[in-house]
Amino acid sequence: MRILDTLSTKEQEISSKNIGIYLCGVTVYDESHIGHARTIIVFDTLRRYLESKGHSVNFVQNFTDIDDKIINRANMEQVSSLEISTRYIEHYFEDFDRLNVKRATTYPKATEHIPDMVKLVQDLVDLEFAYVSKNGVYYRVSKFSEYGKLSKKKTDDLISGARIEIDETKNDPLDFALWKFADT
């Protein structure tokens, strides 16, 4: 089997018998939808194909089990964020088990890796690849000369505020949040 290497834009033969796949999973604040199903089924099909060809696949799919949407839902329902994330993780498994999707090898949760995230963000601040503003910690896009190399997008072509509201406390509109501070 050959697969497209996005960085080099060249097809490469898969030579290893041990394959690792990481899939950025869902943010568990609501029920799964058709968009989730499409992604999960595509990766399930890829995994099953690789396994049918004798590859051993370590398939990792995370759950984002804490973020603004989860906190907002918890506040609205007057329950804990843990209750919200637990409920929708359970529903996720029920839905995808019914679709006969093979379960991932492991499902790490964001909350299980908070100390790792804090250390990584602090390291980036220490290296001046990130900075602290009034609203959070932001990655300094201008510090990474190869930013956009994988997506094939030049920073000059990116439109500020196209996906999210512009935060005036950032040094550059292209900088993105690594950690957002909570309003208390």
Residue 26 sits in a domain whose CATH number is 3.40.50.620
How many Cβ atoms sit within 10 Å of the Cβ of residue 140?
Answer: 20
Residues paired with residue 137 on neighbouring β-strands, in sequence order: 132, 179
Sheet with 176-180: strands ordered across? 130-132, 136-139, 176-180
- Mean of pLDDT values over 54-60: 97
Q: What are phi and psi of 138, to 5 degrees?
A: -120, 145
Regarding whether 128 and 92 lie in a shared domain, the answer is no
Domain boundary at 108, 128, 150, which? 108
- Indicate whether 43 and 61 sit together in one domain: yes
Provide the whole-model pTM: 0.83
Question: What's the total number of domains in the chain?
Answer: 2
What does the pLDDT read at residue 181?
Answer: 85
- Looking at residue 168, its pLDDT comes to 78
My answer on whether 15 and 52 are in the same domain is yes
Q: Please report the pLDDT score of residue 141 as a whole number.
A: 93
pLDDT at 102 over 90: yes
Given a cut of 90, whether residue 163 has pLDDT beyond it is: no
88, 157: one domain: no
Q: Domain range spanning residue 81?
A: 2-108
CA distance 183 to 176: 18
Q: What is the pLDDT of residue 166?
A: 67
The rounded Cα 32 to chain-centroid distance in angstroms is: 16
Q: What is the rounded average pLDDT for all residues in the chain?
A: 91
